[in-house]
């Protein structure tokens, strides 16, 4: 079963907003065995939309469209659906009642004609109730292809995908199994990992595909198996993961799909009832942002001090100016004190500190551009590591952020039973 995802909106094409809807829809479809054939972004133009629909007709099973369902004149999706299906717009009483209750009951203001027009839907469509907003979803079938229209607002789209689209596809279509297993590795680059597992990769079964998903400091290895027998697929994936572990177990840190290092670290800290804080300079709060992005992070992440400027390290973190003058603000000594002081300040078990020169100029230090010091204060000691991540600036920041979590992860895993 194949699907195409279409996002409609000039704001996407000119880069004003980033399309996150397609990724969410693709993951949701993949989870139930629907293969996403392609993703397309097109303009708010009726002819463009109609031409795209015609090109996809009978080539895929499902076309999911997001965007263009607002009440203003530039939102043309509903009228375009009517043209494509030779239909007309009619008021749907249930949608009108919902819109009225939302506007008058929740927002406490009179309903306008534009609001009422949100209840206009093609007469032949199956209405998908949008509990989160005023624009309903629409499900229409022509020959062998279903066309689904969803609002572009992300939280409305997500609700309809999870509560309406996925259950409906599961009920009405037979689908193959698509299983994934993602192996998380840290500390070695893509090319080195590929060299180490080349023979293993060459001997994978035909129905299992390997994808390399590299990021600064880490590589995710995704195994994807497709077939009709779920038990056979699961057994084959587990067997190959076990043989892979024997080859690169020194860099494997996790196996769960979509599990990031911040998620792995968070789970371990929560299980151990330990806490973490950060004192960040050139990373600008990125480590704290990753740690706090995990639901339930308040159980282990207590806070951060972003001491970007040298004077902030002195006045807020209590780093001695004499220490900075003696060793430089980018030094192991300063990183150590930053970590120890934020650990004491926020009363945590662990603390990460970063100081470095991300470039493009040297700033307050004579350290080479790309030079980085990462300190980890533990309950028993202070660990400091020095790196040079080169350039550009974004690479230095990203690699240092991931490396900081990797150092923490290696330390706390020592105490996992």
Residue 47 sits in the same domain as residue 153: yes
Does residue 46 share a domain with residue 107? yes
85-112 pLDDT tens trace:
999 999 999 999 999 998 998 888 999 8
What number is the average pLDDT over the span 247-272? Answer: 84
* 31 & 107 share domain: yes
Report the pLDDT value the prediction gives residue 413, as an integer from 0 to 100: 85
221, 254, 287: which is the final residue of a domain? 254
pLDDT mean over 26-31: 92
Asked whether residue 258 carries a pLDDT value surpassing 60, the answer given is no
Distance CA 65, CA 148 (A): 6
Are residues 154 and 234 both part of a single domain?
no
CATH number for the domain spanning 79: value is 3.40.980.10
Identify whether residues 97 and 129 lie together within a single domain: yes
Assess whether 242 and 369 both reside in one domain. no
| End residue of a domain, out of 126, 155, 172 | 172
Domain end residue (candidates: 221, 236, 254): 254
Q: Are residues 198 and 303 located together in one domain of the fold?
A: no
Global pTM exceeds 0.75: no
Q: Are 268 and 234 within one domain?
A: no
- Least confident range from 148-162, 252-266, 377-391: namely 252-266
Q: Is the domain of 109 the same as that of 193?
A: no
Residue 96's domain comprises: 2-172
Residue 285 phi/psi, 5-degree rounding, is: 95, 5
Same domain, 84 and 164: yes
Query: How many domains are there within the chain?
Result: 3
Q: What is the pLDDT of residue 74?
A: 64
- Segment 319-377, tens digit of pLDDT: 999 999 999 999 999 999 999 999 999 999 999 999 999 988 777 777 889 999 999 99
Is there a single domain that holds both residue 164 and residue 20? yes
The pLDDT score that the predictor gives to residue 71 is 67
pLDDT average, residue stretch 196-215 = 94
């Amino acid at each position: 079963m194949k699907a195409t995802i279409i996002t409609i909106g000039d704001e996407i094409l000119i880069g004003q907003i980033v399309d996150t809807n397609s990724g969410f829809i693709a993951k949701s479809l993949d989870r139930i065995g629907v293969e996403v054939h392609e993703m397309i972004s097109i303009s708010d133009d009726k002819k463009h939309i109609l031409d795209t629909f015609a090109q996809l007709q009978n080539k895929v099973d499902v076309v999911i469209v997001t965007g263009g369902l607002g009440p203003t004149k530039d939102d043309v999706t509903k009228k375009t659906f009517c043209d494509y299906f030779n239909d007309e717009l009619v008021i749907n009483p249930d949608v009108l009642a919902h819109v009225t209750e939302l506007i008058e009951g929740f927002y406490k203001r009179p309903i306008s004609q534009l609001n009422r027009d949100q209840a206009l839907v093609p007469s032949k469509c199956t209405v998908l109730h949008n509990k989160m907003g005023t624009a309903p979803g629409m499900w229409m079938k022509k020959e062998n292809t279903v066309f689904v229209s969803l609002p572009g607002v992300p939280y409305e789209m997500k609700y309809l995908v999870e509560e309406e689209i996925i259950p409906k596809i599961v009920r009405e279509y037979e689908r193959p199994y698509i299983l994934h297993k993602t192996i998380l590795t840290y500390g070695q680059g893509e090319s080195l990992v590929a060299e180490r597992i080349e023979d293993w990769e060459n001997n994978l079964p035909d129905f299992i595909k390997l994808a390399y998903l590299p990021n600064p400091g880490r590589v995710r290895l995704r195994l994807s198996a497709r077939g009709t027998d779920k038990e056979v697929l699961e057994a084959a994936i587990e067997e190959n993961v076990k043989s892979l572990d024997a080859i690169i177990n020194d860099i494997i840190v996790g196996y769960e799909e979509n599990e990031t290092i911040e998620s792995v670290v968070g789970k371990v800290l929560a299980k151990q009832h330990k806490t973490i804080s950060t004192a960040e300079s050139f990373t600008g709060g990125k480590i704290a942002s990753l740690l706090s992005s995990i639901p339930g992070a308040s159980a282990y992440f207590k806070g951060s001090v972003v001491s970007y400027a040298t004077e902030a390290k002195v006045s807020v973190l209590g780093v001695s100016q004499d220490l900075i003058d003696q060793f430089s603000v980018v030094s192991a000594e300063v990183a150590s004190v930053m970590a120890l002081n934020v650990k004491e300040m926020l009363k945590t078990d662990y603390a990460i500190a970063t100081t470095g020169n991300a470039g493009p100029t040297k700033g307050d230090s004579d350290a080479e551009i790309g030079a980085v010091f990462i300190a980890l204060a533990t309950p028993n000691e202070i660990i400091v590591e020095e790196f040079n991540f080169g350039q550009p600036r974004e690479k230095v920041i990203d690699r240092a952020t991931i490396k900081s979590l990797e150092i923490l992860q290696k330390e706390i895993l020592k105490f996992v039973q």
